[in-house]
C-alpha cells in the first residue's frame, strides 16, 4: 500500500524530541524524511543513554527517529549552508527548532526560501514563541514548571511534580503534525506553502483543557489534588486489601453500580453521595466509604467484579504489563523494521487505505 504522504519530502532540521517525533510520524505516513545532523556528533539524543537497544543505539534516539535517512551538514560552513539551502528548496516540508531567528541569520528563513520555493511549508518549533519569549530556552521541564502543569501535578499540596515523560514535547510534536497537514491541504487547493509556528507553552496551555478552562472561564486557579480529579468523584486511586485500584466513575449510574458491587448499595441514596456535585463536595467522606468496603478483598477481584458490572476501573500497570495488556487486546503495540533487530513502538493510527508503515530503522551515526 502507498502511504498518505508518499511523494512528500521532509527536510528535518530539528533535534531532541518535539521536532523528531513530528517528523517520524510524517515518515510513518509515507513521507521521505531527511534528517540533518551535525558531522561526527549527530542529534544530542544519540548520546542520551543508558538504556541502549541491542545494536547499541540509545533507546531515546531510537524512539523518535525511524523512517528517516540522516545527512551530515555543517551549517557553520558555506558548503554546508549551500547544501542545506538546496535541500530546503526541493523539500515540500521543512521542520526546525532553532531559536527563533536562527535560521534567518543563516539565510534559511521562511521569507528567503519561499521566494524561490513558494510551495514550501516551514514548521518552526520553539519554547515560548517568536516574540518576547524568543530567547527563552525551550526545555520540556521548564515549560512543565512555567506553564502550570507542575502546579496541578504531584502527591499533595506543596509538592509540585513533573510528569514522568517529556509530555509537553510530545504534545507540541502532535500539534506540529496537524499544522503541517493543514498547510498541505491548503497547498493542495492554492499551490501556496506557508509558515507554521508552534511553541511548547501554548501547546501545553491548550492541552491542559479543563484545568486551563477553569482559569480562563471560571477564574479558578487549580491546585494539586494528587490522584483526585477536580470535577469528578470517585475518579482516583483507592486502596484495597492488597494493592491500589483506579476507579474512574463518570456518572451517577456508574456510582450506584459501584456501591452495589461493594455491598453498600444504600450509599448511592445518601444525599452526600447521590450526585457528582455532592460527591465532589464530600470527596474525603467518599474515599473513607469506598476504601472501607474495598478493604474486604484484593484489587484483582474488585477489578473483575466491577468491570463485569460496567464500572470503569483498572490496576496501575508498569510498562511491561501495559504492553502485555495492549497485546492481549490485539492492538499490536510493538512492530519490527525490515533489516533491524531493534523493535519499535507502533504508530497508534489505524488507517484502512493508507496505514502507517515501518520501512527504515533509526539511522546509525556512521550512516549520517
Instruction: CATH 3.40.50.10540 in the chain: give the residue spans.
Output: 9-207+332-367
Nearest to 295 by CA among 283, 304, 287, 285: 287
Note the maximum CA span of the chain. 78
**What is the homologous superfamily of the domain 9-207+332-367 according to CATH?**
Crotonobetainyl-coa:carnitine coa-transferase; domain 1 (3.40.50.10540)
User: Cell triple for residue 160?
Assistant: 509540585
User: Who contacts 238 (Cβ-Cβ below 8 Å, separation ≥6)?
Assistant: 244, 245, 246, 247, 287, 290, 291, 294
Q: List the catalytic residue out of 12, 92, 140, 169.
A: 169
- pTM equals 0.94
Confidence at residue 1, expressed as pLDDT on a 0 to 100 scale: 67
Instruction: CATH 3.30.1540.10 in the chain: give the residue spans.
Output: 235-319
> Is there a contact between 221 and 215 (Cβ–Cβ < 8 Å)?
yes
Confidence at residue 2, expressed as pLDDT on a 0 to 100 scale: 84
Nearest to 61 by CA among 76, 50, 74, 72: 50
Quick check: is 305 catalytic? Answer: no
**What is the homologous superfamily of the domain 235-319 according to CATH?**
formyl-coa transferase, domain 3 (3.30.1540.10)
Task: State the burial class of residue 2 (Cβ atoms within 10 Å of its Cβ: 0-12, 13-18, 19+).
Answer: exposed
Q: Could you give the CA distance from residue 313 to residue 299 in angstroms, rounded to a whole number?
A: 10
Confidence at residue 40, expressed as pLDDT on a 0 to 100 scale: 87
pLDDT in tens, 76-126: 999 999 999 999 999 999 999 999 999 999 999 999 999 999 999 999 999
Q: Could you give the CA distance from residue 332 to residue 323 in angstroms, rounded to a whole number?
A: 9
Using the Cα atoms of residue 198, residue 204, residue 209 and residue 214 in order, give the sign of their dihedral.
negative
Nearest to 257 by CA among 317, 314, 302, 227: 302
Amino acid at each position: 500500500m502507498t502511504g498518505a504522504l508518499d511523494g512528500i519530502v521532509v527536510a528535518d532540521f530539528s533535534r531532541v524530541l518535539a521536532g523528531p517525533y513530528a517528523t517520524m510520524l510524517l515518515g510513518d505516513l509515507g513521507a521521505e524524511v531527511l534528517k540533518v545532523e551535525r558531522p561526527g556528533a549527530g542529534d544530542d539524543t544519540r548520546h542520551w543513554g543508558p538504556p541502549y537497544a541491542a545494536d547499541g543505539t540509545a533507546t531515546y534516539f531510537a524512539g523518535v527517529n525511524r523512517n528517516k535517512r540522516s545527512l551530515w551538514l555543517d551549517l557553520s560552513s558555506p558548503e554546508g549552508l549551500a547544501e542545506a539551502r538546496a535541500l530546503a528548496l526541493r523539500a515540500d516540508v521543512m521542520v526546525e527548532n532553532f531559536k527563533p531567528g536562527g535560521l534567518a541569520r543563516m539565510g534559511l528563513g521562511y521569507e528567503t526560501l519561499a521566494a524561490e520555493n513558494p510551495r514550501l511549508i516551514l514548521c518552526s518549533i520553539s519554547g515560548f514563541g517568536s516574540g518576547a519569549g524568543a530567547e527563552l530556552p525551550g526545555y520540556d521541564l521548564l515549560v512543565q514548571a512555567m506553564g502550570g502543569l507542575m502546579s496541578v501535578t504531584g502527591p499533595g499540596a506543596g509538592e509540585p511534580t513533573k510528569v514522568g515523560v517529556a509530555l509537553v514535547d510530545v504534545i507540541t510534536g502532535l500539534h506540529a503534525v496537524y499544522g503541517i497537514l493543514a498547510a498541505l491541504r491548503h497547498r493542495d487547493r492554492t499551490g501556496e506553502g506557508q509558515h507554521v509556528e508552534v511553541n511548547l507553552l501554548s501547546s501545553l496551555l491548550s492541552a491542559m483543557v479543563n484545568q486551563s478552562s477553569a482559569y480562563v472561564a471560571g477564574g479558578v486557579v487549580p491546585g494539586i489534588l494528587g490522584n483526585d480529579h477536580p470535577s469528578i468523584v470517585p475518579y482516583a486511586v483507592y486502596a484495597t486489601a492488597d494493592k491500589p485500584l483506579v476507579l474512574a466513575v463518570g456518572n451517577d449510574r456508574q456510582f450506584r453500580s459501584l456501591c452495589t458491587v461493594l455491598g453498600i448499595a444504600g450509599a448511592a441514596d445518601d444525599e452526600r453521595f447521590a450526585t457528582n456535585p455532592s460527591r465532589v463536595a464530600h470527596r474525603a467522606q467518599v474515599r473513607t466509604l469506598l476504601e472501607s468496603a474495598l478493604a474486604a478483598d484484593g484489587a484483582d477481584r474488585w477489578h473483575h467484579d466491577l468491570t463485569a458490572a460496567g464500572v470503569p476501573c483498572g490496576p496501575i500497570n508498569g510498562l511491561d504489563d501495559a504492553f502485555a495488556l495492549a497485546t492481549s487486546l490485539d492492538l499490536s503495540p510493538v512492530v519490527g523494521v525490515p533489516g533491524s533487530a531493534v523493535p519499535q513502538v507502533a504508530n497508534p493510527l489505524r488507517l484502512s487505505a493508507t496505514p502507517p508503515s515501518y520501512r527504515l530503522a533509526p539511522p546509525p551515526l556512521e550512516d549520517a
